[in-house]
Amino acid sequence: EPEVTQTPSHQVTQMGQEVILRCVPISNHLYFYWYRQILGQKVEFLVSFYNNEISEKSEIFDDQFSVERPDGSNFTLKIRSTKLEDSAMYFCASRLTVSPGGYTFGSGTRLTVV
Amino acid sequence: GQQVMQIPQYQHVQEGEDFTTYCNSSTTLSNIQWYKQRPGGHPVFLIQLVKSGEVKKQKRLTFQFGEAKKNSSLHITATQTTDVGTYFCAAPLRGQAGTALIFGKGTTLSVSS
């Protein structure tokens, strides 16, 4: 079964450093998303991406965040200057169409900011 | 902003007992989705409900979408230890199909044998 692949699985970074989280969505999917989940809490929407541009973003997705699809396969989330509160599990998700059907989530990257 | 309320937050049952989680929105939803997240895992899509009053079954799981399309429930009959995890409902961010999803806080189910 096709998978969404995320790397790395775990990243530890110092506060103020930049991090790039990488995702390879399912190859024929058209819609891409980043979500995050602080330990023990709900899954929070960050940003959606379609047709090589951001289609929606949440209040969490401020100027410190950016997304790119640098080639036909990768989808990246960059955090420019990490803060302690950015520590969370970051999930990439993709889907083929907007309706019907759910998202396929990757296994996530656990980001720890120290 | 739009919120999706989910209750209960936690539920512990004995194996074989039934389990239900409820999801409510203050606004009419175009659809609602359900996901399961095993401990340490990622959300896995279970089902999407679109029609008013819709009921769908997957083996021991029964999903309902309310007549007003503002609430939904997931019922598990005769729970098994493999049902352990957190169940999330999720609805379109701005109530319209095609927008990103907003997740409820989830119901964490634990099952003792």
Least confident span in A46-55, A79-88, B44-53: A46-55
Contacts of B35 in chain A (CB under 8 A): 43, 102
d(CA A74, CA A55): 18
Bridge partner list, A10: A110
Whether residue A102 and residue B48 make contact (CB cut-off 8 A), yes or no, is yes
Assess B40–A contact: CB distance below 8 Å, yes or no.
no
Q: Which residue of B has its CA nearest to A32?
A: B100
d(CA B26, CA B28): 7
Assess B7–A contact: CB distance below 8 Å, yes or no.
no
The total number of structural domains in chain B stands at 1
Cis upstream peptide for A8 (omega within 30°): yes
Q: Which residue of B has its CA nearest to A5?
A: B42
Q: Which residue of B has its CA nearest to A108?
A: B42
Contacts of A105 in chain B (CB under 8 A): 42-45
A17-24: average pLDDT: 97
> Has residue B98 got a pLDDT over 80?
no
Identify the band that residue B103 occupies on the pLDDT scale cut at 50, 70 and 90: very high
- The pLDDT of residue A98 is 65
> Has residue A13 got a pLDDT over 80?
yes
- Please report, in angstroms and rounded to a whole number, the separation of the first and last CA atoms in chain A: 36
Whether residue A102 and residue B46 make contact (CB cut-off 8 A), yes or no, is yes
Query: What digits encode the pLDDT tens for the residues B53-91?
Result: 999 999 999 999 999 999 999 999 999 999 999 999 999
Per-chain mean pLDDT for chain B: 93
> Has residue A84 got a pLDDT over 90?
yes
A32-48: average pLDDT: 94
Whether residue A45 and residue B48 make contact (CB cut-off 8 A), yes or no, is no
Domain containing residue B16: 4-112
A106-111: average pLDDT: 98
Question: CATH topology for A5-113?
Answer: Immunoglobulin-like (2.60.40)
d(CA A102, CA B107): 19
Q: Which of the two residues, B74 and A73, has the higher pLDDT score?
A: B74
- The pLDDT of residue B40 is 92
Distance of CA B111 to the CA centre of its chain: 17
CATH number at residue B32: 2.60.40.10
> Has residue B96 got a pLDDT over 70?
no
- The pLDDT of residue A100 is 64
Identify the band that residue A2 occupies on the pLDDT scale cut at 50, 70 and 90: confident
Residues of chain A whose beta carbon is less than 8 angstroms from a beta carbon of chain B are: 33, 35, 41-45, 48, 56, 58-59, 91, 98-108
Spatial contact of B76 and B60, defined as CB atoms under 8 Å apart: yes
